[in-house]
Structure 1
Amino acid sequence: MLSCLPTELLFLIVEYVNDQMWLLDLSMVNKQLREICSPAIFETLVVKFTKMGLLNLIKASESPLSRYVRCIRYEAAEILDPMVQYPEIFRSCIYTPDDYVRDWRDTPWRFRSRSISYSMIYAYFCVQARDQQDIIDDGLDTKALSESLPRFIRLHTIELRFMTGLSYPYEWLASQALIDNSFSFSDHFKKLMMSMILAKESGVLIQNFKVSGFYTSFNENKELCKLAEEAFSNIQTIHVLDSPTMLDCFSKLSIPFLRRLELANCWLSISSLETFIQAHAETLRFLHLEEIWLLDSTSEYDHLPWDTGSTDRLLHRLEHIFQLGILSGVTINSRNDGQFEV
């Protein structure tokens, strides 16, 4: 029985287990196992851009469990058009009854074999839009982030995930119901940067920043660049996932302690990567690439992708970057055994 094992061995077992449900079950056995499992169970806190999600963030920051939180994953949703709340506008401009009939006839797979009425679709978007509007009107996201982050004294990683925020089978209506994501995503990014600055001023040392799903650029936004530069003053690792514009944005920032860059699941220009590496040449030493597709800058066609095909082709395109002599280590594509292809 696990509870009979030495405490030191139990800590080792918990440290190497990734199954959250198993840890939860184990923590219910007795008080000792609950105390051993708690740091692993509450290490990552997922925060959704909803009233409930933001209020739970505040509650978590005020609870004894806050001392276990080392990573906050903020799932920033695109903003719904507030007009979806008005039935006449929804019916005439956003998603008409004729659209509904057409979709059922031509693309029934969108409904995931579920019986969903037109009124159910309207009700879903109405509830989501009201929830978001309440957050915006009350400034709840600003309040929750700025008040809570400084309370997580062991926080060292921020994950910012940009997403539609729509659950299935409604996500396919994103293009009709969501407003310009360049505005909503930049607004989310700005508020998080301000909160990270407040956390830093309170002595919280955030060293890792991960971003995914960001497709807009803030290069020309001097205020946002200044905030990001201050928020990143202690950052050592940046992980960019499916966010092709972020590399150019980060190239213009001073990040004095940056040591490692990880890029995954996105198109990449070799010139942009080289610019970033040279911009942070004094400190940047490690680069990891995961499922990267390179843009062929030598093609006569704009944005024609270079089919990497193999790691060898990718290495060939990276030769000039290796010759810069800035990086101490480069890894490419993780393998199941914990090693890398390169």
Structure 2
Amino acid sequence: MDRQIPGLQGLPMEILHLILAGLHSWQITSLSLVNRRLREVCLPVLFHKVGFSFSEAGLNGLQQLANSPVRWHVRSLTYTVPELIKPDVLTFEIFKSEMLTPESYVEEAKELYGCGYPADECPPYMVIYETLRTICENQQGIMEEHRDIDILSSVLAALPRLIEMELNFCQSIDEPQWVDSYLSRGMTAKEISNIHHLQTLTKALQKRSELRDSLVTIKLSSMELPYYSPRETPRFPGLSGALECLLELFTALRITGSSAPLELLSHTIIKLRQLILGHVTIPFTTLREILQTNRQTIVSLGFYDTRLLKGDALSEIHQLSPKLLPAVLHDFSFDIQKSTDYWTVPYGETGWIVWLGPRYAPQVRGQPPICPKIQGEF
């Protein structure tokens, strides 16, 4: 008697999970609409990671998450934070005399038109001012009422399976495309912005002390530093202090988009157990220094799509790979293997996990030197 082959919804849960692991997010979304059982199977994947932003709409959406059934599936929460516009923009006289003079606006408009840009690429002067003033008023209102801290702390307590927080730094959020070009003219306070957002997350976590044992990983994406001379070590004590306080609440740090956090921490002793790098370019000496400084605590280094800058002018770019590790970890013993963590390494990327051992044992005369043991594919 021929056995009937079960349909997709008749497959065991373990098989369905393996199928989902090989699908893109849009495919999983479509699959979740087939029937109720597949919807239940897809929900933990669809809401494994959710995000919100530092804005009125973003905070309102975050507040709704606290009362939603999907909160039981959230394991990673992304908080996208913009640069704060200087309060000086609220005074029109200061704006037109010190931030964007009518003369500089006319010159910029002429350059855009001369290059063939359409008229809407350079909006009217007063539209620029009113837009920036409105954004600044909204930002100041959120901070003065402490809405970001209060809402974030209450929602963190409502996510029982949360293990990772991400701070995603950007210049602006959901604004017209032309806004960034004017914000980059010195209208934002980059250092003050970063300090505020770091301290906000720290205070929200401290308000909910019971979460501090469950949260494991903090991810910092595209965090940038104020301008400093490339020949100097970045020194921003307020920013470094805020970052150190936040990292005390986590055991793993993920860095993507910018090496700024590592440059701030390269000579600082932190209590992290794991460091993960991805989609980032970092000075060779910076990576060496942070690993050397924290060799007593960091036990593993993960990386994917990571580049190292070398040379006197940092003009040499090398892809970090297993073959390059002996140069980075020349006085460590270590094992390496491919990363199979579906949630840590993005789809299509090849990741590696390096397990760090103690410093090389001293060589005994007459015996070969102790070399690191390297596993995996090269």
TM-score interval for Structure 1 and Structure 2 normalised by the shorter chain: 0.7 to 0.9
Say whether residues 1:214 and 2:219 are aligned partners: no
Return the match for 1:290 from 285, 288, 305.
305
> 2:178 matched to 1:160?
no
Match of 1:126 in 2: 133
Letter in 1 for 2:300: R
Question: Which of 223, 239, 245 matches 1:227?
Answer: 245
* Counterpart position of 1:277: 291
The within-5 A match list for 1:227-266 is 227-232=245-250, 235-249=251-265, 252-255=268-271, 258-262=273-277, 264-266=279-281
What's the counterpart of residue 89 of structure 2?
Answer: 84
Q: CA deviation at 1:219?
A: 6.7
8 Å CA contact 1:287, 1:331 repeated in 2 = no
Relative to structure 1, the CA distance from residue 82 to residue 224 in structure 2 (aligned partners, 3 Å threshold; closer, same or farther) is: closer
Greater Rg, structure 1 or structure 2? 2
Residues 200 and 113 of structure 1, relative CA distance in 2, 3 Å threshold: farther
Q: Distance in 2 between matches of 1:335 and 1:40?
A: 14
Q: Which whole-Å CA distance do the structure 2 matches of 1:246 and 1:214 have between them?
A: 10
Q: How does 1:1-342 map to 2 (within 5 A)?
A: 4-6=9-11, 8=13, 9-20=15-26, 22-108=27-113, 113=118, 115=120, 116-165=123-172, 167=175, 168-176=177-185, 178-199=187-208, 201-202=210-211, 205-216=214-225, 220-221=237-238, 224=242, 227-232=245-250, 235-249=251-265, 252-255=268-271, 258-262=273-277, 264-270=279-285, 272-278=286-292, 279-288=294-303, 290-296=305-311, 299=312, 304-308=313-317, 319-329=326-336, 338=350, 342=378
Distance, in Å, in 2 between the alignment partners of 1:66 and 1:110 is 49
1:30 CA displacement: 2.9
> In structure 2, do the counterparts of structure 1 residues 123 and 27 end up closer, same or farther at CA, with 3 Å as the change threshold?
farther
Letter in 2 for 1:15: A
Paired amino acid for 1:249 = L
Structure with more of its chain in helix, by fraction:
1
Tell me: CA distance 1:29–1:197, structure 2 relative to 1, closer, same or farther (3 Å): same
**Does structure 2 conserve the Cα–Cα contact (< 8 Å) formed by 1:150 and 1:199?**
yes
Cα–Cα, structure 1 residues 2 and 16, in superposed 2: closer, same or farther, change >3 Å?
Answer: farther
**How has the CA–CA distance of structure 1 residues 77 and 110 changed in structure 2, closer, same or farther, with 3 Å as cutoff?**
farther
Q: 1:251 to 1:311 in 2, by over 3 A?
A: closer
SS in 2 for 1:327: strand
Letter aligned with residue 286 of structure 1? L
Q: What's the Cα RMSD here?
A: 3.5
Unaligned runs of at least 5 residues, structure 2: 1-5, 226-233, 340-344, 353-376
Deviation per residue, 1:8-52 (Å, 9 max, x gap): 3443333332233x3333333332232222212211111111022
CA gap of 1:90–1:260, structure 2 versus 1, over 3 A, is closer
Q: Does the CA-based 8 Å contact 1:150-1:198 persist in structure 2?
A: no
SS at match of 2:166: strand
Residues 110, 19 of structure 1: CA spacing in aligned structure 2 closer, same or farther, 3 A cutoff? Answer: farther
Letter in 2 for 1:228: L
The AA in structure 2 aligned to 1:292 is R
Native 8 Å contact 2:50 2:78 kept in 1: yes
CA distance in 2, matches of 1:274, 1:210: 20
Contact 2:255–2:280 under 8 Å retained in 1: no
CA distance in structure 2 between the partners assigned to 1:121 and 1:93 by the alignment: 15
Aligned residue pairs total 329
SS at structure 1 position matched to 2:77: strand
Tell me how far 1:69 sits from its aligned partner.
0.9
Using the TM superposition, name which of 181-190 and 29-38 deviates more: 29-38
Percent of aligned pairs with the same amino acid: 19
Q: Secondary structure at the residue paired with 1:323?
A: coil
